[in-house]
Amino acid sequence: MCAHPTSASARTRPTIYDVASRAGVSKSLVSLVLRDEPHVSDARRQAVLEAIEELGYRPSRAASALASQQTRSVGVLIDDFRNPWFVELLAGLRSVLDPAGYTVSVADLQLEAASGRNPVDGFLAQHVDTLVLAAEPRAELLRNIPVPVVVAGVRELGPAVLPRADVVAGDDERGGELATRHLLDLGHRRIGHVTGRGGPAAHRRKGYERAMTAAGLRPLVVGAGKGTSEQDGRSGALELLDRVPPVTAIVAANDVMAVGALAALRERGLKAPADVAVVGYDNSPLAAYGYLALTSVDPHSREIGAEAARTLLARLENPDAPRRYALIEPALATRPSTGPSRNGQIHEP
C-alpha cells in the first residue's frame, strides 16, 4: 500500500484530496483546474471550483514546489532600503508578477553585507525561480547562478559579469544629458557634477560630459570613486562650490546626493535655485517633498520594473531565447530647485 489519501479531517487544512472527493473527481483533475489547463469539461471545472470555494482550499506552495521543482518566486536584490528609488521599481515588478502568480521577495544588499550574509546565496537557498538584480553586488557573488537573472536598472552588470543575463535599464547616459541640457537651457555655464561609484553613476556622468562638451564647455566632475550617500553628495558639492569661480549649477548622481548638495549650499550661505541650481536623479519620493522640491531625472522606474518582469517571464518560458537588452527612456521632472535664478536666467562664467 503506497497511497493513503488524506481524509477530510477536522483540524487540518483541506488538501487537494478533500477538494477532489467533494467534487467527485480525482486529484489530478483538481490539479488541472488549479492550473487553468484547457482540456477540462465545464461541468467538472465548475464542480471543482465550487468545492474549492466551499472548503476554503488553498494549495500548498511547499507541495507544489516540491513536485514541480519550481517555487514561482523571484528574488529581488536592491541596493539600500534607505534610498527610496526602489519603491517604484518594485511596484512595477509586482504589477506583472502578481497576476502571473509569482511571489517576490526583496533583500537589501547593504543590510545583508553588513551582517556578513550573502544575499544571492540566500535567494538560492530559497530556490527562487529567478533573480532580479537592482543593485551591483561584488562580482564573486554572481559566479554560476543556476537560475535566470534579469538585471534591472544596472546595465553595467550585463555584458561583463553576467553574459547570459537579460537587462532592462534606464538610459542613464541620456538622463545625465537631459539634466545637463536643462541647466544649459536655463543659461547656466559653470555646471558641476557630483558622481560616485557604480554603473549608474558612471553612465550619468558620461551623459553629463557629453552635454557639456556638446555645448563647448569643460566638464567639471568630482566624487569619482567615492560613495553615493547624502554625505558624499554634500562633500562633492562643497568641492564644487569652493572652486574659483564657483559653479552656478550642480548635477547630482542621485536624489539623496542632491539633498546632500542642498546641505552644502546652505553651509556656504547659498540657496537653490537663486544662487545655485541643483538637479537630482531618480525622481524618488524625496525629490517631491515640498521642502526639497528637486528637479530630478525620472528614469521611469515603474516601467523598468514592469518590463523587467515581462522579460523574466519570457525567459522562464523560453530559456534559450536570445538575450534581451532594453533601455528605457528617461524624462525630466522639473521642480523649483532649478527655478529662476537670482541673476535672471543668464549665468556667465
Partner DNA sequence: TTGAAAGCGCTAACAT
Partner DNA sequence: ATGTTAGCGCTTTCAA
Residues that bind DNA (CB under 7 A): 1-4, 6, 12-13, 15-17, 24-29, 31-32, 34-35, 39-41, 43-45, 57-60, 63-64, 66-69
From DNA, a copy of itself, none, which one binds at residue 185 (CB under 5 to 8 Å depending on kind)? none
Q: Using CA atoms, how far apart are residues 202 and 132, in angstroms rounded to an integer?
A: 21
**Number of Cβ within a 10 Å radius of residue 167:** 24
CB of 65 to a copy of itself, least distance (A): 4
CB of 346 to a copy of itself, least distance (A): 26
Mode of pairing for the β-strands spanning 277-281 and 295-298? parallel
From a copy of itself, DNA, none, which one binds at residue 7 (CB under 5 to 8 Å depending on kind)? none
CB of 174 to a copy of itself, least distance (A): 26
8: left (phi over 0), alpha (psi -120 to 50) or beta: beta
CB of 249 to DNA, least distance (A): 57
CB of 54 to DNA, least distance (A): 15
User: Going residue by residue from 123 to 142, which x/- string records binding to a copy of itself, judged by CB under 8 A?
Assistant: -xxxx---------------
From a copy of itself, DNA, none, which one binds at residue 126 (CB under 5 to 8 Å depending on kind)? a copy of itself
* CA nearest neighbour of 248 among 153, 349, 101, 317: 349
User: Going residue by residue from 105 to 124, which x/- string records binding to a copy of itself, judged by CB under 8 A?
Assistant: xx-x--x--xx-x----x-x
Q: Which long-range contacts (CB under 8 A, 24 or more apart) does 43-52 make?
A: 47/23, 48/19, 48/23, 50/23, 51/18, 51/19, 51/20, 51/22, 51/23, 52/19
Helix %, strand %, coil % of the chain (to 5): 45, 15, 40
5 lines the binding site for a copy of itself (CB under 8 A): no
CA within 13 Å, CB half, 232: 20
From DNA, a copy of itself, none, which one binds at residue 289 (CB under 5 to 8 Å depending on kind)? a copy of itself
CB of 221 to DNA, least distance (A): 51
Number of helices and strands (H, E) in the chain?
14, 12
Residues within the interface to a copy of itself (CB under 8 A) = 2, 58, 60-63, 65-66, 71, 81-82, 84, 86-87, 90-91, 94-95, 98, 103, 105-106, 108, 111, 114-115, 117, 122, 124-127, 230-231, 234, 259-260, 262-263, 266-267, 285, 289-292
